[in-house]
Structure 1
């Protein structure tokens, strides 16, 4: 079996492949590693056939939907997953056949309602059901401590103690464990009485994951993160630097329009000399009357250079093909003591 473990901070994802048939699967991919996954697949000479999420993640952004669209392969999740983009749904004890690999799904609700573990040969990919030295939390949407107890003690921990455990997260640099080691040493698994385990889980009082709402929104629906939206916009538009724009302004150039897309109060407090004001929220509604010449060269600007990038991408979609975004924003412009008009 071809095997590669990819760490992204504390997130763990996995590429598994069959060397005889050059077929592979990705398990729990993270959005920032898409190019790396494709590079690894090329290096091993395998084609990714399935992209699997062991559950609906609340603490990182899944790459499953984007990779499945790019490669034209199914996203695989459990039957009860809320994600509409899951093209293949597995029930308990059902298998994926990938070349000579047999990937068996175990439904293990508790961390989330749709959590599943994947048994492949001598190892089990436990998602967030079982972690090294811990377990998944149960206080997030669809979590349930009673279900987690049943999934652990009634199913997962009854597997061969020699099975290697590969979780979806580990924040201490550890790569794997075994079922036997976790039974013996995992502090949470020492609470073997159901009521004691449930009480322990309910009293953990953990902080909410960073970006939880955005992660749940995007992972449940296949929507885009804010970072994805900005990256997609940046890929569609050219940019102009702050120094280049200042040279144009200082030289008295009249062949470009600086379009400030901030709100009114921010514009009034100080803007680039000669800039025209058109808030981003009114862009589509007012652009025809404000900028009647679609061939005009337009430089959009905002406070930090993000909203202006979205605005420039929108202008290009509307037919203003010479729209570009300022690389940076008014904050850096002010920090450089460049001229300001109020």
Structure 2
């Protein structure tokens, strides 16, 4: 087996490949690591055939959908996965053939109802069901401590104790464990009676993952993250340097329609002299009235430079092909001591 483990913070993903056929699969790929996965595959001469999600992640953004589109491969998950882009849905016990490798799916719900673990040769990829020195939490959508108890004590912990354990997360720099080591040393697995285990899980009182809502939305629907939207907008528009715009303001000859897309109160409190106000939320509705010349040069600005980038991209989509965005935002403009006008 060709094997690569890729850590992204505490998130763990895995590239496994068959030495004979060079066919490979990615397990729990993370969105920011796509180029790294493709680089590793190219280095090892691997052809990625499957992108596998062990469950619906709430704490990282899955790269499976984008990899599937780029490589024309199926996304593989348990049949209960809510994601509409999953093309291959595995049942408990089914095998996935990856060249000469066989990956067996075990339905191990509890952390989520679609959680599955994956056995391949001498190792088991446990997703967030079994972690090194811990277990997946059960207080997020579709979590169930009773089902987690069954998945652990009736399934995973009955596997060969020498099996290597590779979880989807570890925040202490550890790479793997074994079933036997977890049975012996994992504190949560010392609660061997169901009632005690369920009570422990219900009293963990853990903080919610940082990107919980966005991660669930994108991983369940295949929608885009805010970072993806910003990256696409940034790639689609040119930018005007703050020093260039400041020089034009000083000379009294802007040469642009400076379009401030903040809300009215922020605009009135201080804006670039000569700027025109059009809130981002009203852009599409007022663009024909407020910007009658589609050939005009436009530079958008906002507080931090992100919303203005999205606005400039939208303007270009609408046909304003000379729209650009200010490189930076009004916060940086103020901190640089550049001139401001107040009021409407």
Quickly name the TM-score band, shorter chain normalised: over 0.9
| Residue number in structure 1 paired with 2:319 | 319
1:194 aligns with 2:183: no
CA distance in structure 2 between the partners assigned to 1:339 and 1:265 by the alignment: 18
| Residue number in structure 1 paired with 2:266 | 266
Task: Indicate the SS of the match to 1:86.
Answer: coil
Q: Bigger shift: 146-155 or 194-203?
A: 194-203
Report matched runs for 1:70-85 at 5 Å: 70-85=70-85
| Residue number in structure 2 paired with 1:162 | 162
CA contact (8 A) 1:261 1:300 kept: yes
CA contact (8 A) 2:245 2:254 kept: no
RMSD of the TM alignment (CA)? 1.0
CA contact (8 A) 1:255 1:296 kept: no
| Residue number in structure 2 paired with 1:234 | 234
In the TM superposition, residue 254 of structure 1 has moved relative to its aligned partner by 4.5
Q: Bigger shift: 6-15 or 204-213?
A: 204-213
| Residue number in structure 2 paired with 1:178 | 178
Rate the CA distance shift 1:192–1:279 in 2: closer, same or farther, 3 A: same
Task: Indicate the SS of the match to 1:339.
Answer: coil
1:54 aligns with 2:48: no
Q: Give the length in aligned residue pairs.
A: 342
Cα deviation, 1:229-265, whole Å, max 9, x if unaligned, reads 1111111111112112112222333531111011111
| Residue number in structure 1 paired with 2:91 | 91
In the TM superposition, residue 35 of structure 1 has moved relative to its aligned partner by 1.3
- Normalising by structure 1, we get a TM-score of 0.98
CA distance in structure 1 between the partners assigned to 2:152 and 2:323 by the alignment: 56
| Residue number in structure 2 paired with 1:123 | 123
In the TM superposition, residue 159 of structure 1 has moved relative to its aligned partner by 0.9
Q: What are the ranges of 5 or more consecutive residues in structure 2 without an aligned counterpart? A: none
CA contact (8 A) 1:24 1:50 kept: yes
In the TM superposition, residue 324 of structure 1 has moved relative to its aligned partner by 0.6
Q: Bigger shift: 300-309 or 288-297?
A: 288-297
CA distance in structure 1 between the partners assigned to 2:323 and 2:208 by the alignment: 40
CA distance in structure 2 between the partners assigned to 1:203 and 1:318 by the alignment: 52
CA contact (8 A) 1:240 1:326 kept: yes
Task: Indicate the SS of the match to 2:288.
Answer: helix
CA contact (8 A) 2:248 2:255 kept: no
Runs of 4+ deviating beyond 6 Å: none
CA contact (8 A) 1:31 1:62 kept: yes
Rate the CA distance shift 1:241–1:254 in 2: closer, same or farther, 3 A: closer
| Residue number in structure 2 paired with 1:8 | 8
CA contact (8 A) 1:300 1:326 kept: yes
Task: Indicate the SS of the match to 1:142.
Answer: coil
- Normalising by structure 2, we get a TM-score of 0.98
In the TM superposition, residue 291 of structure 1 has moved relative to its aligned partner by 1.4
Q: What are the ranges of 5 or more consecutive residues in structure 1 without an aligned counterpart? A: none
Task: Indicate the SS of the match to 2:236.
Answer: coil
CA distance in structure 1 between the partners assigned to 2:149 and 2:20 by the alignment: 39
Task: Indicate the SS of the match to 1:59.
Answer: coil
Cα deviation, 1:63-83, whole Å, max 9, x if unaligned, reads 111111111111111001111
Task: Indicate the SS of the match to 1:216.
Answer: helix
CA distance in structure 1 between the partners assigned to 2:70 and 2:236 by the alignment: 18
CA distance in structure 2 between the partners assigned to 1:162 and 1:299 by the alignment: 62
1:299 aligns with 2:299: yes
Task: Indicate the SS of the match to 1:125.
Answer: strand
